[in-house]
Structure 1
Amino acid sequence: MKKFITNRFEILSEWISNNLGSPYAFMIACMLVVLWAVSGPLFRFSDTWQLVINTGTTICTFLMVFLLQNTGNRTIEEMHERLRRLELMNRDLLLEIRDLRTGRHNFEDAA
């Protein structure tokens, strides 16, 4: 069950990251702020009118913190995996170079 929830969360967070990171999402957010500002006179710039934008931005910010943390964790894991692979490739190349040098010295000694 834990793996199922984790996989679903990763899929959802990936989808949200891709969509909220787009220029279209930024334009929609800007339009919502403009719409809210324009509606100010209609609501007489009341406390409730201000509370709407404050509550909305607070909730979005709170949720985005968890989304960004998840995305950052996955990025760090991928980076560590790539570094491990590079380390193994480097080790293999160093062993091949050592073998080539040893083989060359053996060839020179035989000649």
Structure 2
Amino acid sequence: MKKRSIFESLANKITTLAGSPPAFTIALLIVLAWGISGPIFKYSDTWQLVINTGTTIVTFLMVFLIQKTQNKDAKAIQLKLNELVAASRYASNRMVDIEDLSEEELDVLHKYYKKLSDEAEEDDDIHKSHSIDAAEQVQEVKNARNDALQKKEPDAERKRPGPTAER
């Protein structure tokens, strides 16, 4: 675990330094020095190889450090969002950990929330909740109402005179 914390500490320091103005200034000065030295080295293949090799190595290593930092930041943001979802009485707790869903499952959720957004735009009350749970409750009420109507319809048809009563 000590090695991991050393790597994490080193990665954080390097990415912080790499994104600083002094690091940019140093990189700019190196590129300028390389460019100015071109005539001295007669723009040789070795002269070009120096900058190509240096930038390739730095880029290769930075990709891993930046990805590590981005993964950590994304995880921290997800945890913060999960806390907000869990703390809000109007939000659906089903949204916690949706980052583990597949791309297709996220697309389905996106379409659903687009529909909720459209409904919210038409609503006069900006404080009205439009969540999965609220939508499910509304759907349950609609289903119960439809079930009740379907149960009543056959009785109503039997009492009605005409061709439908002979069924």
Indicate whether the TM-score tops 0.5.
yes
What's 2:55 paired with? 57
Task: Select which of 39, 46, 49 maps to 1:48.
Answer: 46
Percent identity at matched positions? 49
Mapped partners of 2:71, 2:38: distance in 1: 40
What's 1:37 paired with? 35
What's 1:23 paired with? 21
Residue identity opposite 1:16 in structure 2: I
Task: Select which of 70, 73, 95 maps to 1:75.
Answer: 73
* Cα-Cα RMSD: 1.7
Residue identity opposite 2:52 in structure 1: N
Identify the structure with the greater helix proportion. Answer: 1
Mapped partners of 1:92, 1:16: distance in 2: 41
Aligned-residue offset at 1:84 = 2.0
Please show how residues 80-99 of structure 1 align to structure 2 within 5 Å: 80-91=78-89
Structure number with greater CO (CA < 8 Å, separation at least 6) is 1
Deviations along 1:41-65, one digit per CA (max 9) or x if unpaired, are 2211111111000000100110011
The unaligned stretches of length 5 or more in structure 2 are 92-167
Mapped partners of 1:73, 1:33: distance in 2: 30
What's 1:108 paired with? none
Mapped partners of 1:18, 1:83: distance in 2: 24
| TM-score normalised according to structure 1 size | 0.75
Aligned-residue offset at 1:92 = 9.5
Secondary structure of the 1:75 match is helix
Mapped partners of 2:75, 2:4: distance in 1: 15
Which aligned runs of 4 or more in structure 1 are off by greater than 2 angstroms? Answer: none
The unaligned stretches of length 5 or more in structure 1 are 94-111
Mapped partners of 1:62, 1:56: distance in 2: 10
Mapped partners of 2:6, 2:72: distance in 1: 14
